[in-house]
């Protein structure tokens, strides 16, 4: 095969720090490069490939739908979109859905929804309180809500209306609330921020504050949703219900789709307020409906809980074996292992050389996001490779 990285460099904007791999096919939790080497894929498209690669059932659904109807725009009804919306509403605490194509679009729409609601219901309030180290996307609106300055600072004046506080600090949210506050926007677990898990009562206390002050609670479940943490939605762990929830990533099993779900009292978009040409098209909706059925009725959600417990145990074993491992955090099959120094890139590179793909999400944190139907043997094989990588680093 001609040199894909060299061809890419000639024609592609350099927006990604790519690994020196050209992947050509996948099956289950494994992918293969253009030289025939195989890898356990514990990135899964960054929490996207819920059912792994080339899942037979999902492949069949996509092929069948592609043979009848892919896209007709939202000027018309399709049964596939309605069926997906019905399923999401039935199996969540929310009442209405809007479909788009990605997590950043879902968060962009949620910001618009919160602003419209605040202007109409809180005397013109439009500000949103968000968290430091949070990540909500790359568009100008969603990046303005992202609590990591390096994602925002190179693009001129940011969109106003966002106030940042430390994550897992309810008192900071209280102090930041003013008459212009419309909503609080948080991830149940911060993904790109380093798999940061708040105190067990954090979201419950934030929910109480929002209720007391008439604020919307927006939960960004783009990464934590669709079974990733062992519950269908991560808010279930906290025993709270959001007013608005955003979804994407694993929802379509690899097919691009995003969604905003909202309770009736704040689902106030009217015709012309918002839209999406491709959002919730028949192909993406059919794929997402199949993924949800596998989670709910196909045993995949139970597998996340079982394999998540196994992954937690195996990572605890690394803490016992290696001084460089100082902790782990996460839930279900969303885990980060924490090192005492900034060796995450080295760990991930050595792991790749031994046949495992993981993501160094922070200089001292490697993130594990395997497919939700990963097997026990694959979990063990992955941790054995990390064990080998850490042993090599210690002896280097």
**pLDDT of 117 higher than 60:** yes
Q: Which residue has the higher pLDDT, 18 or 357?
A: 357
What percent of the chain stands above pLDDT 70? 100
pLDDT for the residue numbered 15: 86
pTM of the model: 0.96
CATH of domain 58-297: 3.40.640.10
Hey, what's the torsion of the CAs at 118, 119, 123, 128, to 10 degrees? Answer: 40
**Coil vs helix vs strand at 132:** strand
Q: Is 220 a catalytic residue?
A: yes
Q: How confident is the model at residue 56 (pLDDT cuts 50, 70, 90)?
A: very high
pLDDT for the residue numbered 396: 80
Residues 23-37 pLDDT 10s: 999 999 999 999 999
Q: Is 204 a catalytic residue?
A: no
Residues 197-252 pLDDT 10s: 999 999 999 999 999 999 999 999 999 999 999 999 999 999 999 999 999 999 99
Residues 244-262 pLDDT 10s: 999 999 999 999 999 999 9
pLDDT for the residue numbered 188: 98
CA-wise closest residue to 368 among 317, 322, 314: 314
Q: Which residue has the higher pLDDT, 396 or 29?
A: 29
The mean pLDDT of 41-68, rounded to a whole number, is: 98
Residues 291-341 pLDDT 10s: 999 999 999 999 999 999 999 999 999 999 999 999 999 999 999 999 999
Question: Could you tell me which residues are beta bridge partners of residue 356?
Answer: 40
The mean pLDDT of 90-119, rounded to a whole number, is: 98
Which residues of the chain are in CATH 3.90.1150.10 domains?
Answer: 301-344+352-372
pLDDT for the residue numbered 191: 96
Active site residue: 135, 164, 269, 339, which one?
Answer: 135
pLDDT for the residue numbered 189: 98
Q: Is 112 a catalytic residue?
A: no
Q: How confident is the model at residue 1 (pLDDT cuts 50, 70, 90)?
A: low
Active site residue: 49, 99, 116, 220, which one?
Answer: 220
Which residues of the chain are in CATH 3.40.640.10 domains?
Answer: 58-297
Residue 303's contacts (CB-CB under 8 Å, 6 or more residues apart) are: 372, 373, 374
3-state SS record for 303-342 = HHHHHHHHHHHHHHHHHHHCCCEEEEEEECCEEEEEECCC
Q: What is the Cα–Cα distance from 340 to 17, expressed in whole angstroms?
A: 24
Active site residue: 98, 99, 243, 249, which one?
Answer: 249
Phi first, then psi: what are they for 104, rounded to 5°? -65, -35
Question: Could you tell me which residues are beta bridge partners of residue 327?
Answer: 338
With beta carbons less than 8 A apart as the criterion, state whether 243 and 266 touch.
yes
What percent of the chain stands above pLDDT 90? 92
Residue reference for tokens 């069926």: 83
3-state SS record for 26-69 = EEECEEEECCCCEEEECCHHHHCCCCCECCHHHHHHHHHHHCCC
Residues 123-159 pLDDT 10s: 999 999 999 999 999 999 999 999 988 888 888 888 9
Q: How confident is the model at residue 166 (pLDDT cuts 50, 70, 90)?
A: very high
User: Any idea which architecture 301-344+352-372 has in CATH?
Assistant: Alpha-Beta Complex (3.90)
Task: Compute the Cα dihedral for 218, 222, 223, 226 and give only its sign.
Answer: positive
With beta carbons less than 8 A apart as the criterion, state whether 358 and 29 touch.
no
């Amino acid at each position: 095969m001609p040199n894909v990285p060299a061809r890419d460099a000639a024609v592609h904007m350099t927006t990604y720090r790519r690994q020196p791999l050209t992947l050509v096919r996948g099956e289950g939790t494994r992918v293969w490069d253009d030289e025939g080497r195989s890898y356990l894929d514990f990135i899964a498209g960054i929490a996207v490939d819920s059912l792994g690669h080339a899942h037979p059932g999902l492949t069949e659904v996509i092929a069948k739908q592609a043979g009848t109807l892919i896209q007709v725009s939202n000027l018309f009804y399709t049964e596939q979109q309605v069926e997906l919306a019905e399923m999401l509403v039935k199996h969540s605490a929310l009442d209405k859905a809007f479909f788009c194509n990605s997590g950043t679009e879902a968060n962009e729409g949620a910001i618009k929804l919160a602003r419209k609601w605040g202007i109409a219901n809180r005397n013109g309030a439009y500000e949103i309180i968000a968290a430091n180290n949070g990540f909500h996307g790359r568009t100008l609106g969603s990046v303005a809500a992202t609590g990591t300055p390096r994602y925002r600072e190179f693009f001129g004046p940011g969109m106003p209306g966002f106030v940042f506080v430390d994550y897992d600090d309810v008192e900071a949210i209280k102090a930041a609330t003013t008459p212009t506050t419309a909503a609080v926007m948080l991830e149940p677990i911060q993904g790109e921020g380093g798999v940061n898990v708040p105190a067990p009562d954090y979201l419950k206390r934030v929910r109480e504050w929002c209720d007391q002050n008439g604020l919307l609670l927006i939960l960004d479940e783009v990464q934590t949703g669709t079974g990733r943490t062992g519950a269908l939605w991560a808010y279930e762990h906290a025993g709270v219900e959001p007013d608005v929830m955003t979804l994407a990533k694993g929802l379509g099993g690899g097919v691009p789709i995003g969604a905003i779900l909202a309770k009736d009292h704040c689902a106030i978009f009217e015709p012309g307020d918002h839209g999406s040409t491709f959002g919730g098209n028949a192909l993406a909706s059919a794929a997402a409906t199949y993924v949800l059925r596998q989670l709910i009725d196909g045993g995949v959600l139970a597998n996340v809980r079982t394999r998540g417990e196994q992954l937690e145990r195996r990572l605890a074993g690394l803490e016992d074996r290696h001084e460089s491992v100082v902790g782990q955090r996460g839930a279900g099959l969303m885990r980060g292992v924490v090192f005492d120094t900034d060796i995450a890139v080295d760990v991930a590179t050595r792991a790749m050389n031994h046949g495992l793909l993981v993501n160094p999400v922070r200089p001292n944190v490697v993130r594990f996001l395997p497919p939700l139907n990963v097997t026990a043997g694959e979990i063990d094989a992955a941790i054995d490779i990390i064990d080998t990588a850490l042993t090599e680093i210690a002896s280097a």
